[in-house]
Structure 1
């Protein structure tokens, strides 16, 4: 008797499922609103799309200021469609603040690079600059084509936190590309973390950081820690101050998400 009841139940369930499938319509799972806004792509994947904010293309650094004194303009060296770290001038950052975004930035290690380890073309993109100096969250820039150093300090690393999945570096003298998806941290009213920062990085077309959950801000010594901030933060470029030849940048744009 129990087997008969079980069989009847199974058959009935199958009948109702089959009947539900027959009465369902394809329109039930099709949506027509909200309609996504139209964004016109660039001519190439490195060109800014129509909704991008251009942070640098050529001619000037009007979108940038000194990190140490935001009332002063960025004093790096502009040469046509690229600019280069100027020694002794310190870091620079965007005038505008950003929360969540898609960022494209191209950079180049000079052909005549000297030094080794961390003294070989050291710079960085701070995805959120939270104060003077090196405060914030750093995506490392370094010549890591054939240069041994600690692996959470090579190009493509989230400095002192996350090793890149692969080494996708080009030779010094060649332009290299970072494409970044940044989700900024959020904080509770008491300053504690509500949601941590996450980042995805594509380096020269290769995925090197896959939706990483950050442990906190970049620290050279000690464990990373979060410090509450609100209202977004600038994007910062680092003047490392070492003796190697300075880094160049070009074609920088951002899309707010």
Structure 2
């Protein structure tokens, strides 16, 4: 039954949100780690802590600080119980942070049945179904020896971090489906698994519970299970969105099509449409329409549950980067006569809003126009995406004018270092004079040659170059294929009066002198910093587990009262660890320093931390070397 308009207007509360590069979304439900009330009673091995330390170099070297916020599996006693949530789920979108002890093994089981492996796989070159990120194998004792395990799925690439560092999973899981008789009609499916920002699985079916599951049957619902009998692991920030099956749906769609050029969608109210037609998807399907058209689509939107909904509208003929003074289109979306979304050229073709809706059916009206096409925004598709209570973020109509598929053009580093010049996005800004270097050990990095800035590191495969080498190469971007850590991007070296002087955002005295290629095929960057001559180099060490970063500096004429300092790292926090290493930015990566000289840890005016080391010249030459470990 269609809900009366007056009732809708009483319950329709909305507010616009700004459009950003990230997809807007509704909030997650978070499992409470201030106590264990969200979990079923379990053994004494599961404890809460305020902080945890696992030694990079040895198993059994962990320690915890009292407090809350982190869940730790401590196997120092006799208890080795699994941990189950009170919450039971079907379809779910799940995120969590985890930290592995050296050599440790654990797992998280969706519905207590289907395992994503937690394992210390740091540095593994060819991952197996037993490594971190794998969908663990099923097991059948009746099968021949060597074939008892089956249907295991290793991650697409190994992007696991070192023991003692926080890692992240995002898991989108679709529960098995059953008919009214309780018979299974569709297998469980891992729709997507993302580890440390890299997609490692997509659309993997699981025909039944994996090995060591808590339950051997299959059900529509089940709890999360954290494995407790294998090895130490720390968990924090488990959050989720649980989904029901009933969808948001569009029905009774009708298109009124107009020809010509337009300045506003308001013009359509006084015009007679050139043609009217029923349609079955949200699209401008009028024959012969390419440019110079407008449309008004009316229909009904079904809202399955009451609550807050996110609406996101995209008119794909309006590109994200366009001259706002050259308007090639616009649009607006109304529900029950209430204008919720408006798109103008300066919006980049996309607008979002959040709105509270009661369950029911409501009239929908979408008006839009397109005056001309742009060669880099050829599509005439209209995309309306929705997320709501129990409803996953979904585009209600898929693209129907898909462009020709393009195979990924990738550049890999196999037996020797590989260098690639190009543009790179860093903290949302495009850097145009960069060089990225891929190491055979899968430790990769990018440097801005124009500014002398160390931009990013990543573990895994090297670069996707499709945006550079396909067609006209519009964006010229090179995209890392592995798990990226973006660094601050400030100069690595600077002249400072003392250890308390503020670090500059840029260096006016920096002059790029290019780079040499050493005997191993790696670049050695050359530049001057005022009167100082600098040679900067990187090298993958410990079979790709570490990236060594070195500076050799000839100070030249000393600036009175100043010395050259190296800014090794910066972050929200920097902590010296019991093993002598330094944990950076909430254990995002480690810094390892040779020798006995202690760096300076200081607090900036912005209340962040910096790790500095003076470069003291001996015989007119000073050096600093450190390793990034992640």
| TM-score between both structures, scaled by the size of structure 2 | 0.28
Instruction: Work out which of the residue numbers 226, 237, 248 in structure 1 matches 2:234.
Output: 248
Instruction: Work out which of the residue numbers 132, 135, 146 in structure 2 matches 1:155.
Output: 132
1:215 aligns with 2:203: no
Please identify which structure carries the higher helix content: 1
**Distance in 1 between residues matched to 2:154 and 2:123, nearest whole Å:** 16
| 1:133-185 C-alpha deviation (Å, 9 max, x unpaired) | xxx11000000013589701100100012111110101111100000001000
Corresponding residue of 1:140: 117
| 1:53-86 C-alpha deviation (Å, 9 max, x unpaired) | 2114x421211114xxxxx588611013211013
Q: Of the two, which has the highest radius of gyration?
A: 2
Q: 1:164 to 1:209 in 2, by over 3 A?
A: same
**Distance in 1 between residues matched to 2:16 and 2:186, nearest whole Å:** 29
**Distance in 1 between residues matched to 2:38 and 2:74, nearest whole Å:** 17
1:179 aligns with 2:170: yes
Contact 2:94–2:240 (8 Å) recurs in 1: yes
Alpha-carbon distance, 1:192 to partner: 3.8
Alpha-carbon distance, 1:241 to partner: 3.2
1:62 aligns with 2:63: no
1:53 aligns with 2:23: no
The count of corresponding residues between Structure 1 and Structure 2 is: 189
Please identify which structure carries the higher strand content: 2
Contact 2:95–2:168 (8 Å) recurs in 1: yes
1:83 aligns with 2:71: yes
Contact 1:76–1:85 (8 Å) recurs in 2: yes
Corresponding residue of 1:96: 87
Of the structure 1 ranges 79-88 and 176-185, higher mean CA displacement relative to structure 2 is found in: 79-88
**Distance in 2 between residues matched to 1:251 and 1:74, nearest whole Å:** 21
Q: 1:207 to 1:216 in 2, by over 3 A?
A: same
Contact 1:124–1:141 (8 Å) recurs in 2: yes
Corresponding residue of 1:197: 188
Instruction: Considering Cα pairs closer than 8 Å and 6+ residues apart, tell me whether 1 or 2 has the greater RCO.
Output: 1
**Distance in 2 between residues matched to 1:65 and 1:147, nearest whole Å:** 35
Contact 1:107–1:249 (8 Å) recurs in 2: yes
User: Which structure 2 residue ranges, 5 or more long, are not aligned?
Assistant: 1-11, 51-68, 138-151, 244-630
Alpha-carbon distance, 1:39 to partner: 11
Instruction: Work out which of the residue numbers 179, 183, 196 in structure 2 matches 1:188.
Output: 179
Q: Equivalent residue of 2:111, what SS?
A: strand
**Distance in 2 between residues matched to 1:238 and 1:226, nearest whole Å:** 16
Q: Equivalent residue of 1:154, what SS?
A: coil
Corresponding residue of 2:323: none
Instruction: Work out which of the residue numbers 204, 222, 233 in structure 2 matches 1:233.
Output: 222
**Distance in 1 between residues matched to 2:81 and 2:203, nearest whole Å:** 30
**Distance in 2 between residues matched to 1:39 and 1:181, nearest whole Å:** 27
Q: Which consecutive segments of 4 or more residues in structure 1 shift more than 6 A?
A: 37-40
Q: Equivalent residue of 2:222, what SS?
A: coil
| 1:165-218 C-alpha deviation (Å, 9 max, x unpaired) | 110101111100000001000223555421111111000000001121112110
| 1:199-250 C-alpha deviation (Å, 9 max, x unpaired) | 1100000000112111211026xxxx973324x11011001335xxx11000
RMSD: 3.1
**Distance in 2 between residues matched to 1:109 and 1:241, nearest whole Å:** 12
**Distance in 2 between residues matched to 1:39 and 1:89, nearest whole Å:** 49
| TM-score between both structures, scaled by the size of structure 1 | 0.65
Q: Equivalent residue of 2:129, what SS?
A: helix
**Distance in 1 between residues matched to 2:135 and 2:39, nearest whole Å:** 23
| 1:107-143 C-alpha deviation (Å, 9 max, x unpaired) | 0013xx2xxxxxx2111010111xxxxxx11000000
Q: How does 1:7-22 map to 2 (within 5 A)?
A: none
Q: Equivalent residue of 2:241, what SS?
A: strand
Q: Equivalent residue of 2:107, what SS?
A: strand
Contact 1:64–1:95 (8 Å) recurs in 2: yes
